[in-house]
Amino acid sequence: MTTEAARPASLGRYRIVDVIGAGAMGVVYKAHDPHIDRTVALKTIRRELLSMQAAGEVVARFHREAKAAGRLSHPGIVAVYDFGEEESTSYIVMEYATGTALSNLAGDGRRLGAHDASAILRQLLDALEYAHAQGVVHRDIKPSNLLLSPEGRLKVTDFGIARIDTGRLTRTGTPVGTPAYMAPEMYLGESGDQRADIYSAGVVLYELLTGALPFEGATIGALAYKVCHTAHTPPSRRVAGLPAGFDRVIDVALAKRADARYANARAFADDVHQAATAGDSSGIGDERRAAALAATLPRGSATSISAQDVEGITSDLTTHVGPIARVLVKRALASSSDVHDLRRNLAEHIADESERRRWLERFAKG
């Protein structure tokens, strides 16, 4: 695993400035483009981690997805600028976007009010509507891929690219995505069309409204069974006083059959707006609400996390991701308000789902 000390000085014409994060197959760098004097993000794939046949398949798909995402130009989507290869590394050059991931706002009992959740989701659906019109499907919509800027602007990251970094690309017909947010058809190994994104956005809305996921399981198999066969609990039964209109919205968005879901993001957004504004005449717009919410988010370092906590978490994470753990912990501290947040933010860097779950459970018992 690449360490901060061993990071390359450059990739192509891009000068490496810092390490942003790391996954099972590569590292994401902050870099500088000297040709137009701007900061960019470089997402890399390390081909030496794959077999020769798998590497060719992954790089080809990586390039195709970069070309697809490069067609997108929307204020709610992180832009893709370039694709390159150098020695054993392939990389995609993207817009460098800052903000707080939605995973820091909701989940594990934390939730938003109906109007705030609606304001955020409608921005997501606006971006999805645009991308789907261009023939691009994300396939891994989840809170950690959604950034909320201090101004309240939502940006979708990894558009058309997220599925590359799952570590499950050596066979066709293999599920792609993050299990809790995957549509039923994705568990069957289908490629999934825009309605798979609709389902994932429905899970995000459910989590924003209730602080919980609609389906959970001790194993991937148990989760898959629930996603494909079990009815979810209506959000109004989880949260007293939640507008009942959201129950219908979630029912449609999380339909087991793709053809029973919203046909497009616009129809979904319209129903979300109607559910949130029933009986409300305030007239406050989505971006104003999102900006007000963003202004309440903590900025700066997590002073409530002790040095002992940091050292323990770093040591344990190192067994999963290698020496890069110290860099990841350093980065995550800036957006973590307590130890719970820090553990949650770091968990996504553990590629194996069962290892990630055990890692979180072990800390929860400690």
The residues assigned a catalytic role are 140
Pairing of strands 154-156, 146-148: antiparallel
CB 236 within 8 A of CB 191: no
Instruction: Identify which of 53, 44, 62 has the alpha carbon closest to the alpha carbon of residue 170.
Output: 53
Q: How far apart are the first and last CA of the chain?
A: 28
Residue 72 backbone zone (phi > 0: left; psi -120 to 50: alpha; other: beta): beta
DSSP code, position 215: -
Q: How far apart are CA 21 and CA 328, in angstroms?
A: 6
CB 12 within 8 A of CB 33: no
Give the 3-state secondary structure of residue 146: strand
Per the listing, tokens 């079990």 go with 230
DSSP for 37-80 reads TEEEEEEEEEGGGS-HHHHHHHHHHHHHHHHHHHT---TTB--E
Beta bridge mates, 321: none
Q: How far apart are CA 224 and CA 246, in angstroms?
A: 24
Question: What's the longest Cα–Cα distance across the chain?
Answer: 60
Q: How far apart are CA 251 and CA 261, in angstroms?
A: 8
Burial 328-337 (b: 16+ CB within 10 A, else e): bbebbbebbb
Amino acid identity for residue 351 in this structure: A
